[in-house]
Structure 1
Amino acid sequence: MGTESGGSMLTRFERILAPESLHVRVTRTLGRQVIRADQESTQIIFPNENGLCEQLGVSRTILREALKVLADKGMIEVRPRSGMRSLPRSNWNLLDPDILAWQSEENPDAGFLRDLCEIRLAMEPTAAGFAAVRANAEDMAEIEAALNRRVTADGKRIEDLIDLDLQLHACIMKASHNRLFQYLSEAIREPFRVALSYTLRSAAVRSLEVTAHQLLVDAIRRRDPLAARDAADKVVANLMVAVEHVIRRMEGRKANRSNDWVLLTTEPSADLR
């Protein structure tokens, strides 16, 4: 990518190779490019329509559909005569499922990981309190089964543990009987998966998480909304500590990216033990 003065940049775009659903692929390609530019605190100046069609290898119809979607999401602006430019994150629809998914496909930055934790902190304790009051027999059976699968999952792959975590959270959200909580939880599911892929590499974090989830489910079982809120607070607080630990590691490895895997799998520091 070439950078212009004033923090703007000219860029080339990867050619779209296979028509999986061409419109979706073009939109995702351009959307992820905008996200990468924002992470680097730069602005994309798009080529003109003909040039962008040639670089991507798509028709004007497909390109225009993709650009309209991105404009509706607040990611780009299209101005007659002055062309197309990317917009900063402050303009984006941050709860848009596509934007959340595209951010999770990129290397998440510190701000994105912190935002995820804070969304959960704002939502999950309240949902847990409602679950303690509203859960019916079917809800409780699903929650108990999900917890049992997670507790007995020692030795499984990280990917399997993440799936089990997400299943348990989904069961608790369902038991809250609040459709908006369920919607928001589903919207951040894939980004949350990415955050867990970093934090659950630590054995100490996994142990803390299981204990916290057991306390949470016990509070819901006892129909104690205050205890459920407190337990959910602790679940998210443990994740927030782990995320801050990961962020320090990510910031420390910027100068030597070849050590990524080693740094992410070393033993946790004292604050996580």
Structure 2
Amino acid sequence: MKATDARSLHGHVVRELGRRIVVGDLRPGDVLPREEVLAESMEVSRTALREALKVLSAKGLIEARPKTGTRVRPKESWNQLDADVLSWRCASMPTDDFIEKLVEMREIIEPAAAAAASRRRTAAQLSKIDHAYRQMEAAQNSDEWAVADLSFHNAVLQATGNELVISLFSVIESALGMFFVLSAQTAGDFKYSLPHHLKVLEAIRRQQPEVARKAMQGMIADSQANLHKKRKGSAKKLPTLRSK
């Protein structure tokens, strides 16, 4: 499920209530205020509120029961792979926990994806990876770099030719985006990892699966080491990304 557009009225309610549930301000078993009270407190119409509650119900966060009202569901019922839920959870984690879990997820997915991309990529897919690399090379600031970095990793997943792997990007996009922004902001030189990306690109270009796998593993390990090293003397918080 794609991230909810927080700019709409019901999107604003989805984001605010969803965030409160995920961070624990509203706990499993808690009953939400009556519809008219909740709508007034959030300064939205009851129609917008109902639409928002439908979205949150689809994400597994709440359920409406006759006579007992709308309750927050247990965490195990939440759709943890929903783009919004994942984003809210990552944003609420202590930064070190976020880094460890993201690194572990990347280690499972991305080296294998790089190897698969090197075996199956088409000329057009290689061109997209190369274009993203050139955007990273030309980035003038850390924000531009993070956007290009995300495009690079998306292009690698697309080049696997595996629709199940490709679909993972929509799930992990928000979390990866936070990771890349944090990494770029933390690094003294936000382009420090450019050589690692070039190694991945060239391995995919030359169709060398094991070289691509090892290059991606090296990139992930290097970014983890950089973040841990830089964080020893700082308390930098996770960046907040707006839902698309």
TM-score where L is the length of structure 2: 0.79
Aligned length: 231
1:215 aligns with 2:210: no
Specify the alignment match of 1:192 in structure 2.
176
Report deviation, 1:165.
0.7
Which residue type is aligned with residue 31 of structure 1?
G
Q: Deviations over 1:94-148 (max 9, x none)?
A: 11123234446x4553444433322222111111111111112222222223223
Match of 2:211 among 227, 234, 238: 227
Q: How large is the RMSD of aligned CA atoms in angstroms?
A: 3.0
Query: Which consecutive unaligned segments of at least 5 residues does structure 2 have?
Result: 1-5, 240-244
Moved more, 165-174 or 83-92: 83-92
TM-score normalized with structure 1 length: 0.72
Q: 1:247 and 1:184 mapped to 2: Cα distance?
A: 29
Larger of the two Rg values belongs to structure: 1
Whole-angstrom CA distance in 2 between matches of 1:146 and 1:184: 19
Greater relative contact order (CA < 8 Å, ≥ 6 in sequence): 2
d(CA) in 1 for partners of 2:155, 2:31: 44
Secondary structure class of the residue paired with 1:188: helix
**For residue 76 of structure 1, what is the aligned residue in structure 2?**
62
Q: Which moved more, 1:85-94 or 1:65-74?
A: 85-94
> Sequence identity of aligned pairs in percent?
32
Counterpart-to-counterpart distance in 2, 1:224 and 1:204: 32
Match of 2:116 among 127, 130, 133: 130
Gaps of 5+ in 1: 1-18, 254-259, 265-273
Kept after mapping to 2: 8 A contact 1:103/1:191: no
Structure 1 pair 209–63 and aligned structure 2 pair: CA distance change class (3 A): same
Cα deviation code 1:228-259 (max 9, x no counterpart): 11111112222333444576667xx4xxxxxx
- 2:86 is aligned with 1:100: yes
Distance change in 2, residues 1:112/1:78 (3 Å): farther
Whole-angstrom distance in 1 between the partners of 2:228 and 2:73:
28
Q: Is the Cα contact below 8 Å between 1:205 and 1:242 reproduced in 2?
A: no
